[in-house]
Amino acid sequence: MKEQGKIWMNGKLVPFKDAKVHVLTHALHYSTAVFEGIRCYNTPKGSMIFRLQEHVDRLFKSAKMYSMKLPYSKNEISKAIIETVKASKLKECYIRPIAYYGYGVLGLTPTPNKIDLAIACWEWKLGESSAGKIRGARCKVSSWLRIDSRSQPMQAKAASNYANAALARVEALKDGYDEAIMLNYNGKVSEGSAENIFLVNNDKIFTPPPSAGILNGITRDSVIKIARADEISISETNIDREDLYVADEVFMTGTAAEVKSVTEIDNITIGDGKPGKITRKLQNTFLNVAMGKDKRFSKWLTPI
């Protein structure tokens, strides 16, 4: 990681290399943290944060699901995010706000500890990951099931969800794939390790509903709104593994991944093995939206 700019910690901007926590920080031991992943794009009109409000709203919802009372308001956190990006002097970056139970008392109960909040950003260029853009990604249906929301709130973007996601990701990479697809306890498709998933059949798009145990992705929501604005049919429905194999197109969405095409699953070629027509159209529109070139969605961009 290139150490550049400052990191916001509990109200102060500190040099990147000095943003440290104690080894007995509660969250480090018990995953008691919620966080966000946000992008700032270098648009022709300057640097713009994509859907800042929605990300801050989701951070608060994630915290609420874990009864964490964040010590700052939404407005204060939004301002702090903008301040951190400005201080980084980066035109294009990934932004990571994280709220976590800090250092104090180390035992299972988190609440005696105070809730700390940090915001970091680092360089991340538009379309940086090639898998799914230049070529389609090769995915594997994971042997690990997505954690069931009867076990923990999977609609929270919480650190505790990511041990499960990392097991799936590492398994897929070790087996020579680009990414994992996770099924839920009902055997239905939920999502990728860090992306939502969609399939296309006869020019209609389908994606699993939140009740499939997915994270309610902000890129997913953007793609749903873009598709509807472009009069492409899109609906939420439970999806079986077999539906993916025989779909015309499969794609994934996420803040890091943007819109990425999936052209192979479990060594089965999807469609004709090339990024499909609807996927490519959504990739183009999404990039135009992120670049501020699509006036219909300019309200999604917050200038720095």
Which residues does the annotation mark as catalytic?
157
The 181-200 contact track toward ligand PLP, x by CB under 6 A, reads ----------x--xxx----
Stretch that binds ligand PLP, among 218-226, 261-269, 281-289, 296-304 (CB under 6 A): 218-226
Short-list 178, 182, 115, 173, CA closest to 154: 182
- The answer to whether 210 contacts ligand PLP (rule: CB under 6 A) is no
Query: For 93, phi and psi rounded to 5 degrees?
Result: -155, 170
Query: What residues from 41 to 80 belong to the interface with ligand PLP (CB under 6 A)?
Result: none
In the block, tokens 């102060």 appear at 12
| Three-state secondary-structure class, residue 153 | coil
* 251 touches 262 (CB < 8 A): yes
Among 48, 215, 224, 227, binds ligand PLP (CB under 6 A): 215
String of DSSP letters for 192-221: ESSSEEEEEETTEEEE--GGGT----HHHH
**For residues 13 and 59, which CB has a smaller minimum distance to ligand PLP in the complex?**
59
The 25-44 contact track toward ligand PLP, x by CB under 6 A, reads ------------x-------
DSSP 132: T
Residue 76: burial class (beta carbons within 10 Å; 0-12, 13-18, 19+): middle
**For residues 253 and 285, which CB has a smaller minimum distance to ligand PLP in the complex?**
253
Stretch that binds ligand PLP, among 74-82, 210-218, 227-235, 261-269 (CB under 6 A): 210-218
Q: Applying CB under 6 A, which residues contact ligand PLP?
A: 37, 165, 191, 194-196, 215, 217-220, 253-255
